[in-house]
Structure 1
């Protein structure tokens, strides 16, 4: 991967720019949490999707947006207890 000027981007720079890209040490819980946050952020950022959810839930758009933003804090319940190894099937 490179910049528009043609200079290559180092892997560490890419990870610093895009936090959810992950690495070999990332647990399943961290990966799923990043995916949920990205999805919720997309719903909040796209007004048409947000209004669709508001109509489907019979709520105001502002309330649905607030609920999605609050859910982004901890989208997958509490993290698992103890140290886990990536790929251990949590």
Structure 2
């Protein structure tokens, strides 16, 4: 990748600019959380989508926007405590 001037952009600079840019060490929870937040931000940012969801849920646009913004705080619930294997076992057993 490069910027408009033609100079290459370093991976650390890219991660600093775009928070949701993942890497190989990113957990499944982090990845899914970033995807949900990006989706909610897109819905809130586009008025047509927001009004569509408001009509579908029979709510006002402001209330729907507030609900989506609140869901952005913890879109996937609490993070799994422990290692990856422990977390998967807890999810499977619950």
User: TM-score normalized by structure 2?
Assistant: 0.87
Task: State the structure with bigger RCO (CA 8 A, min sep 6), 1 or 2.
Answer: 1
- Equivalent-residue separation in structure 1 for 2:69 and 2:77 (angstroms): 15
Q: How much does 1:30 deviate?
A: 0.4
Question: Does residue 84 of structure 2 align to residue 84 of structure 1?
Answer: yes
Counterpart residue number, 1:75: 75
Q: How much does 1:25 deviate?
A: 1.0
Which stretches in structure 2 are left out of the alignment for 5+ residues?
A: none
Counterpart residue number, 1:23: 23
Higher mean C-alpha deviation, range 15-24 or range 27-36: 15-24
Q: How much does 1:32 deviate?
A: 0.2
Q: Deviations over 1:7-63 (max 9, x none)?
A: 110011001111111111100000000000000000000000000000000000000
Q: What is the DSSP-based 3-state SS (H/G/I as helix, E as strand, rest coil) of the residue aligned with 1:19?
A: coil
Which stretches in structure 1 are left out of the alignment for 5+ residues?
A: none
Cα RMSD (Å):
1.6
More helix per residue: 2
User: TM-score normalized by structure 1?
Assistant: 0.91
| Matched pairs, number | 88
Q: Which runs of 4+ in 1 moved over 3 A?
A: none
Counterpart residue number, 1:4: 4
